[in-house]
Amino acid sequence: MPHRFHRLAIAVAAIVLPASAVAADLAGYVLYFQSFGDWSAICARDEAAGIVTCAAESPSPTSATPPAIIVRVAETESGTFAVSAIFRANVASGALAALRVDDGADHVGPLDAGYEVHFGPGESGALVSEMLDGRLLSLRAAGFGSNAQAIHVGVPLAAFGSAFNQMRVSLRQHGRIRDLNPP
């Protein structure tokens, strides 16, 4: 059994680390991984910085096909969240990306040079709240190149709450976040 976990940790790290533009946050080794269908909770230790990072992420790194978009939700301090999406398809740096839960309002931001869109604490908090109550997260961005087509991906949210809650518990178990009222 330990060999299976070791192989799973290596496989997860091999998929997650290169797939993410925030790979520096995950450089080191995987401390915790649990899949919840379309979502997973992942914690890793960055040896160089000496910190632990955890996130709820979709799709799960155990997916058979490489994803066009990776959605990442992290808790940066107690009750403060950071939502980002990494577009791995042909999108233009500087183009606008939009995230929407069900039929709600769009959360819009520009794609940076790493083809990521990041939302600040206020908007991330609103997005997390909507995601916990929602059914589907829709992500869109303008395409790039001679065969440019808009990118539109839907991510089911049925398992988001489980991955999100486990990520929050793991952050506290690894001493990354300490608060008086744990989740």
pTM: 0.78
Structure confidence at residue 65 (pLDDT)? 77
Is the per-residue pLDDT at 16 higher than 50?
no
Q: Could you read off the pLDDT of 50-71 as tens digits, one per residue? A: 777 889 999 877 677 778 889 9
Task: Tokens 């192989």: give the residue.
Answer: 7
- The residue-averaged pLDDT of 61-86 equals 87
pLDDT score of 137 more than 90: yes
Of the two residues 142 and 141, the one the predictor is more confident about is 141
C-alpha closest to that of 139 among 183, 99, 81: 99
Residue 17 pLDDT exceeds 60: no
Count Cβ neighbours within 10 Å for each residue of 40-51 and write b for 16 or more, e otherwise. Answer: bbbbbbeeeeee
DSSP 120: -
Q: Which CATH class is domain 2-173?
A: mainly beta
pLDDT in tens, 20-38: 433 444 457 788 899 999 9
- To the nearest whole number, what is the mean pLDDT of the chain? 80
- Secondary element (H or E) of residue 83: strand 80-87
User: What residue segments make up the domains of the chain, in order of their start?
Assistant: 2-173
Pairing of strands 69-77, 51-58: antiparallel
Give the Cα separation of 7 and 50 in Å (integer). 24
